[in-house]
Amino acid sequence: MGSDPQYAKWPALPLAQHVFTITNPYATRPAQQAAVKSLQDGISENKMAPLYKYLAHPTEGILNSSGETTSASAPAKPAGQKPSAAGMVASKTAGANLPWDEAVYNKLKAENDKELEEFQKEEDESVEQAGETEIMAAKGKRADFFAKIGDKDKAIAAYEDVFEKTGILGTKIDLVLAIIRMGLFYGDKALVKKHVARAKTLVDSGGDWDRRNRLKAYEGLHLLTVRSYNLAAPLLLDSLSTFTSYELCTYSNLVVYSVLAGSVSLKRVDFKSKVVDAPEIKAILGADGDDKLLALTGAISAGPGAEDAEMRDASKDTVSPTAATKATMAVNLTMLGTQTDHPEAEMAVDFSPLAQLVNSLYNGHYKLFFQALALVEEQFLTQDRYLHEHKGWFIREMRLRAYQQLLQSYRVVGLESMANDFGVTVDFLDRDLAKFIAGGRIPCTIDRVTGKGVIETNRPDDKNKQYQDVVKQGDQLITKLQKYGQAVRLRGSERA
């Protein structure tokens, strides 16, 4: 198994979701006000002076568009450029303001400086009196502190410093994962992409089972943010049975991400086995009471990942979770030891729209499917910072998937009949299908010249397509051979 994960507590990613909620036009006013309160509490509790300035400063903050302040000495906010915050906020205007208080900021900054002095003192004493292990521990504390207070640049630099001076592979992987979380916190996709690739290289060089599985969740979440749902789906679904990355997201969120990614990208056979019939997903979407709570605590685990040889060895050391009580809260418990203190209590989530989406799509109940898709957009896609950016694309692709699923079973379909099946008007279906047909996504034609309209599918001829591909590739090969022959003859004449 290797050593327990290190540097796995900070930054506090739920705070980034609160920032998103404040600027989310789809969030309710009470939700935005609650997000401001939670954000203020987090900033105060963790003494996050750099993050407070980044968000609420009258001239530099990304949230306080009105320049609201409770300090008379604070300067008025001139018009000017704001720091890039595309990855953190949902819109340019905040639904609720985070007030700026110069006195509060100065107090937080003074406390930060005091703690940094203590870390420096500890490091100096370690250099003089202790060994390399104590020095690295002191440097690690300072790096974690920068991540805790939300100072992105200094945290990454400190983690890199520790990375360069440590030789333990597990610790190196943990440091890179901490940098990935800093990138996720601030929505820096380029940074996350770079360090996910870096972490994969380290894991492939001999990473232990636990870190290899944690990286699956990290990579899957990153791929979700860049709209690579087809690549994210297998990673996220595989993480369900072995999930321990509670510093990244809650188990409920992982279920949502897995189901959505699988629904939009998997073929029907895989969709059936990995989503519709998956034990972990059925325990969440199709069960109540004890089964659902057991799934949230990680007690229900099945599929290929659960039968991994290393998992069987590690399971000897795991502790069975205690029975959960029926309540509106579910506590995440890890099956494997982690360094995080205690996973946070997880609010109950209404998964019924998600369950209806999955079942209606697979069973071909398209009217219910469209209704569920609207509810999923309202309750999940518009409210989550990782899903919000691509919600329009997701809705469009899910409609396309339903259209394709119905049309592939028929040669000719009446437009009115299909509209009734989906619970939409004929004009809407005509316009929606026309976009996909024009883009080459659905091989069919619509005839509305006579009668009420008919959709005729043009099934692709696989044999003809293969023949055309062979001819095309053969032409390319002949061209390359001709160029190669000319180059050989030219060199031969030069030798003569």
State what percent of residues in the chain have pLDDT above 90.
56
Distance (Å) of CA 147 to CA 89, 136, 193, 198, 285: 20, 17, 19, 20, 35
pLDDT for res 294: 52
Q: Which residues contact 388 (CB under 8 A, 6 or more apart)?
A: 20, 24, 26, 90, 381, 382
* Helix, strand, coil in percent for the chain, rounding step 5: 65, 5, 35
Cα 323 to chain centroid, rounded? 30
| Strand ordering across the sheet containing 444-447 | 412-414, 454-457, 444-447
pLDDT for res 351: 92
pTM, full prediction: 0.80
Cβ(165)–Cβ(201) below 8 Å: no
pLDDT for res 495: 55
Report helix angle 29-46 to 49-56, nearest 10.
Answer: 150
CA angle 217/250/334 to nearest 5° reads 80
Tokens matching residue 228: 């690579």
pLDDT for res 203: 94
Closest to 222 (Cα-Cα) out of 241, 205, 199, 251: 199
pLDDT for res 488: 74
H/E run at residue 444? strand 444-447
**What is the spatial distance between Cα 222 and Cα 308, in angstroms, rounded to a whole number?**
24
**What is the spatial distance between Cα 492 and Cα 496, in angstroms, rounded to a whole number?**
6
pLDDT for res 330: 36
Q: Is 94 left (phi over 0), alpha (psi -120 to 50) or beta?
A: beta
**What is the spatial distance between Cα 442 and Cα 435, in angstroms, rounded to a whole number?**
9
pLDDT for res 76: 43
**What is the spatial distance between Cα 54 and Cα 16, in angstroms, rounded to a whole number?**
12
Cα 235 to chain centroid, rounded? 11
Sites in the chain below the pLDDT cut of 70 = 1-3, 64-87, 92, 94-95, 286-347, 451, 460-464, 490-496
pLDDT for res 331: 33
Q: How many CA atoms lie within 13 A of 382 on its CB side?
A: 13
pLDDT for res 34: 93
Distance (Å) of CA 325 to CA 318, 329, 334, 349: 21, 9, 17, 16
3-class SS string, 47-85 = CCHHHHHHHHCCCCCCCCCCCCECCCCCCCCCCCCCCCC
pLDDT for res 86: 57
Cβ(155)–Cβ(9) below 8 Å: no
**What is the spatial distance between Cα 335 and Cα 246, in angstroms, rounded to a whole number?**
12
**What is the spatial distance between Cα 324 and Cα 345, in angstroms, rounded to a whole number?**
12
Q: pLDDT tens, 91-148?
A: 767 667 888 999 999 999 999 999 999 998 988 888 888 778 888 888 999 999 999 9
**What is the spatial distance between Cα 59 and Cα 53, in angstroms, rounded to a whole number?**
10
**What is the spatial distance between Cα 186 and Cα 17, in angstroms, rounded to a whole number?**
10
What number of other Cβ atoms are within 10 A of residue 243's Cβ?
Answer: 28
